[in-house]
Structure 1
Amino acid sequence: MHQEQDDARTIGPDADTDAPNVARMYDYFLGGAANFAVDREAAERALAVTPQIGAFARANRAFLGRVVTYLSEAGIDQFLDLGSGIPTVGNVHEIAHRHNPRAKVAYVDNESVAVSHARAMLVHESRVSVTRADIRDPQEVLTAPGVADLLDFTRPVAVLAVAILHFVPDSDDPAGILAAYRGTCAPGSYAALSHAATTTMTEDEVRRGRQIYSTTPTPLNIRDHAQIAALLDGYDLVEPGLTPINHWPTPNTEQPANGYGAVGRLP
């Protein structure tokens, strides 16, 4: 992955380019161009610790695609994508619109570059919105015009928390955050999440990886299977439940990715 120089046109009005940013690092792992030297340097240090970090990013993006396909086939036509990140191939609205051109997608992120890129890309999409807000404040998110004016919460909505809650520390109560979004949703709604875990990484890889992410504004919080499952309390998990992201929804013989994922339905 390689980029010769930064394009100043991609920088939001208050983007911090002095410290690495996890959204821009993730973009780099996926081969994107919406990242800066500081992000690329941190990402390469992470890859030097373990190539599994890059593999997780790619597996996670594929997981998101399968999830949106599953939800669309289940009849969901409204999506709230929390921590949506920088637009890249296989965005939620692209997948949803293949199944239902009338599907509505509300993207939410707090990173300046991610929001700037998304707004530029989606300026002509009337059924898609981009909101800059902190997902840890559900009230702010749910009352924002891009969410409240687009989505009808009296009907089923899919809340997507894909590769975002591992950047929320226990002190911010990630389970409570997700419960607040759940409390707004009608029966028949869904939630989907993926979360970093250590299925194959050594303790040293985990320690060194966390040191790198500690240099960002959003350090990495590793949780185990039971802790991640608890984030989806209140939902009935669809088969196969909480499983390595590259084994959802069909178990296979691939080495498990270092992350768990699940989809739950609100009864």
Structure 2
Amino acid sequence: MEELKWVPSTVDVTRPSVARMYDYYLGGSHNFEADRAAAKQVEQHFPGVAQSAQANRSFLRRVVRHLVAQGVDQFLDLGSGIPTVGNVHEIAQQDNPDARVVYVDFEPVAVSHANALLADNPNASAILADLRATSSVLKGAREVLDFSRPVGVLIIAALHFVPDSDKPYEAVASYLADLPSGSYLAITHASWDSLSDDERAEATEIKKIYNSSDNALTMRTHAEVTRFFDGMDLLEPGVVAVNDWRPDFYEDRTGIYGAVARKP
């Protein structure tokens, strides 16, 4: 068993974590043997999973820079995972050193490491909480963010780990209700819309692997992902593959939808 100082004693490193698996896909170092083993099983069924994770992170970078250019200087990153390999505060503060960021995750390793990273950064912090616990999250976020001014809410590759029974649409709507006009919502969400029959068979195996981790998968269609933005003004080009959202360069298309919308 790996013993590292940034790992809380309550963490079971023998059980795969989606946050640490994602860190592995991004080339990070904050993952354990159980995470790597599960991630490699996924790669056997979906060889492009690491490229998809990297495309997702590239989308996040473009979105944060776009929002900073629009004058947004505070961000709430829900289901943030382990904030390494191009995290929000680094991107935002590169363009605006005064930008404020609150990371939220229910993974103790993610939050523990985030707070270690942010120890010398007065404008960024991490909260240990489940994004579904909206009241608790908003209470903690208000200690850093000013909710009388626009906020950029980021829910990147997190909602496909929230089943319908946990009311994800209501959770997102609850966050938006507390935000002032001019705030933004950015979401990415995995989907099987474009899969062939053979690929769907492989996807079923992938779902089994994630079901053995701390979060099961709930894939949604284009229409179901679009529903998260009800009542908001979608930015062009709408809900598209993350690679097609204002790309810097051509990348192979991935099965992850991404979009950004503004609260009127």
Q: Name the counterpart of 2:163.
A: 169
* Structure 1 position 11, deviation (Å): 1.4
Q: Do residues 232 (structure 1) and 229 (structure 2) align?
A: yes
Q: Name the counterpart of 2:77.
A: 81
CA spacing shift, 1:6–1:31, aligned 2, 3 Å: farther
* Structure 1 position 107, deviation (Å): 0.7
1:173 alignment partner AA: K
Per-residue CA deviations over 1:138-171 (Å, capped at 9, x if unaligned) read: 0010112xx1111111110011000000000000
CA distance in 1, matches of 2:31, 2:247: 33
* Structure 1 position 253, deviation (Å): 5.9
Which moved further from structure 2: 122-131 or 200-209? Answer: 200-209
* Structure 1 position 252, deviation (Å): 7.4
Q: Secondary structure at the match of 2:104?
A: strand
* Structure 1 position 245, deviation (Å): 0.5
**8 Å CA contact 2:23, 2:29 repeated in 1:** yes
1:242 counterpart (208, 227, 239): 239
CA spacing shift, 1:173–1:93, aligned 2, 3 Å: same
1:156 alignment partner AA: P
Q: Name the % identity.
A: 46
CA spacing shift, 1:104–1:252, aligned 2, 3 Å: closer
Q: Do residues 65 (structure 1) and 65 (structure 2) align?
A: no
2:6 counterpart (10, 17, 34): 10
TM-score w.r.t. the length of structure 1 is 0.94
TM-score w.r.t. the length of structure 2 is 0.95
- Structure 1: unaligned runs, 5 residues or longer: none
**8 Å CA contact 1:200, 1:257 repeated in 2:** no
Q: Do residues 157 (structure 1) and 154 (structure 2) align?
A: no
Per-residue CA deviations over 1:186-241 (Å, capped at 9, x if unaligned) read: 00000000001123461112101101001012101111100000011121100000
1:25 counterpart (21, 36, 61): 21
CA spacing shift, 1:252–1:11, aligned 2, 3 Å: closer
**8 Å CA contact 1:86, 1:113 repeated in 2:** yes
Q: Secondary structure at the match of 2:229?
A: coil
CA distance in 2, matches of 1:84, 1:204: 29
CA distance in 2, matches of 1:7, 1:193: 34
Task: Trace 1:1-267 onto structure 2 (pairs within 5 A).
Answer: 6-144=2-140, 147-198=141-192, 199-200=194-195, 202-250=199-247, 254-267=251-264
CA distance in 1, matches of 2:56, 2:250: 17
1:182 alignment partner AA: L
**8 Å CA contact 1:191, 1:263 repeated in 2:** yes
**8 Å CA contact 1:13, 1:112 repeated in 2:** no
Q: Secondary structure at the match of 1:231?
A: helix
* Structure 1 position 173, deviation (Å): 1.1
CA distance in 2, matches of 1:8, 1:98: 30
CA distance in 2, matches of 1:252, 1:35: 30
CA distance in 1, matches of 2:38, 2:224: 28
CA distance in 1, matches of 2:110, 2:84: 10
CA spacing shift, 1:150–1:206, aligned 2, 3 Å: same
- Structure 2: unaligned runs, 5 residues or longer: none
